[in-house]
Amino acid sequence: MNAVHKLIVQCCLAAYFVSCGRFTHDEPDYNKIEYGGILHKKDESVSKQDKDIIAVIQFSYNFVKERFPLSVPDFLNQTKTSDIQKLELVYSIDEENPIYQEDLLEDGHDGVSPLHLILFGFLYKFTLYWETEKTAGFAHQFAVSMFPKEVLSIYSHTFLDLHSHTQRPSTSVPCGNNPQPMDIQSDVLLQSDEGSQEYSPKDASHWLKDSQKLSCEVEPVNLENGYSSKRNFTVMSFNTWNMNSLSGKDKHYVKRIKDFGEVLAKTKPDIIGFQEVRYEYSKGGQLGPSQVQHLADMLEGYQFVFQPGQLQPNSLYEGRTEEGVAIFSKYPIISVNHLLLFRNRSNSADTHQRVCLHAVVSHSTGKTHILNTHLSLSHEAREKAVVEIWRYVRQLQGPVIFMGDLNAEPDERAIKFLRGEVSLEKQQTTGFVDVWFESHGREVPGLTYNTLKKELSKRIDYIFMKKSKDMQLVEVTTPDNKQRGHKAASDHLPVFAKFTLATPNT
């Protein structure tokens, strides 16, 4: 058996262990994993003189220079860089222990030579910042993926306009078009989020990664009815159908993703939550391999964050393949978190780790929390996940929008729980509003799936809003160009909602 065949066997073993419950316990240890199949391991010996670090910084500088040429200094040496976090993406079949290259060889390990971890590349997090004039400056925050060696992809790019001062800047975070100074000397530009945890560390350990706090203030405008400012904004939830196509041929994806972009261009959402966003190394040329890059190219000027949920098993023999969710925003993204949701690895319907991505966007009325997820195929996992999400959301201050492909129809218990109609796990009620029901009632089905067939049959894509007197729903639609089968841009229709935000006078 050669090494490639043995890699395939390992994939089959992983699937077998999931199906028969051979793991040490059903739920992953969220303290150990960064996301499904990847252990959390930081490289503590990072230097800005390392060749890979130099390459990553140059790549990111070029990315910004191409998109925002007037706001970027002419030379890289005019750019400052925060401390860089480097995460090693260490593979694990059981999500408890790392797998070594020697484990997959016919002769095994000789017991003397050093062991070599199976790495699926690296993820770098850092900030580039500079001043272009005495009164203006910019900070660009990045997450950059490397796989294989020297092949780079932008996973996240957010940016802020800064006011510079002769003295050391304060730690306030800019808001909307009236930015305040920020501490750009810090290796972490944003601070920890407000709100206290009411659960023990054991229960909440997998909830947040890189939790951030914001400090946003809006200039008073003295409007009537007790509000200082108002703003309309639009939100879309859209499943990309990853890199699939009906024919299985790459050329069909190239055309489909262009059609997908046309749907976005017609609706022009301010904020978009994408599901099934894929990085697939085996796809080359026009295909990527990074789908978030395709979306960023189509949505010029948007900030974006991408969070993988699961490394796919075929990564062992086809190269790194992972899938997750992304949030794109016309407004500044000033904070990013993610929740690793409940997963029962002994359930064959729950083989993929699911994630809920949380971004906080800043605008003239303050801040809005945006959450995006793609729930499991397992009823059990969905019910536990929505409880986790609501327990987290209810601690957030200010307007909240929660959206995604929930893989559940409106009468399922998980969705009824989100609407506050049933209780789950002693959690009695939620403060969510199903915006489709709010706008159209229950008589209009709002079907979103499956466009690969002649007729749609299910509603499994949703936008919810947390009840708030400061946010009002205007309208909700499911934009449909009536294309079906191989002509469809995705196997899902998007959900599109318009809201009005208002900031009360204080």
Q: Which CATH number goes with the domain that contains 270?
A: 3.60.10.10
Question: Distance between CA 223 and CA 220 in Å, rounded?
Answer: 9
Nearest to 182 by CA among 165, 199, 194, 197: 165
**Which pLDDT does position 78 carry in this prediction?**
84
Q: What is the domain range of residue 155? A: 3-162
The residue among 137, 162, 187 that closes a domain is 162
Domain boundary among 162, 183, 214: 162
Q: Are residues 272 and 139 in the same domain?
A: no
Instruction: Give residue 221's identity as a one-letter amino acid code.
Output: V
φ, ψ for residue 67 (rounded to 5)?
A: -90, -30
Assess whether 237 and 367 both reside in one domain: yes
Q: What is the pLDDT of residue 163?
A: 56
Residues 104 and 240 in one domain: no
Q: What is the pLDDT of residue 22?
A: 46
Q: Do both 264 and 400 map to the same domain?
A: yes
DSSP assignment letter at 299: S
Residues 323 and 429 in one domain: yes
Residue (of 390, 394, 401, 400) closest to 424 by Cα position: 390
| pLDDT the model gives residue 18 | 47
Query: What's the domain count of the chain?
Result: 2
Q: Is residue 192 part of a domain?
A: no
What integer pLDDT is reported at residue 436 of this predicted model?
Answer: 98
Rounded-to-integer distance, Cα 388 and Cα 405, Å: 16
Q: What is the pTM of this model?
A: 0.85
Considering the domain architecture, whether residues 231 and 105 belong to the same structural domain is answered as no
For residue 138, the model assigns a pLDDT of 86
Domain shared by 244 and 393, yes or no: yes
pLDDT score for 365: 80
C-alpha atoms less than 13 angstroms from C-alpha of 188 in its C-beta half-sphere: 11
Same domain for 24 and 151, yes or no, is yes
Residue 218 lies in a domain: no
Query: Which of residues 129, 162, 195 is at a domain's end?
Result: 162
Q: For residue 77, what pLDDT is reported?
A: 85
> Do both 151 and 258 map to the same domain?
no
Do 420 and 289 share a structural domain? yes
Is 177 a member of any domain?
no
In a domain, 472, yes or no: yes
User: Is residue 469 exposed (0-12), middle (13-18) or buried (19+ Cβ within 10 Å)?
Assistant: exposed
Residue 174 falls within a domain, yes or no?
A: no
406, part of any domain: yes
Domain co-membership, 235 together with 156: no
Tell me the mean pLDDT per 10 residues along the chain, length 506. 52 49 66 93 91 96 90 85 94 87 65 75 94 73 94 94 42 30 28 31 32 33 54 95 80 88 94 97 84 93 97 91 97 95 90 96 90 97 96 94 98 96 86 96 96 96 94 96 92 97 69
Pair (231, 158) in one structural domain: no
Q: Is residue 222 part of a domain?
A: no
Answer whether residue 193 is part of any domain.
no
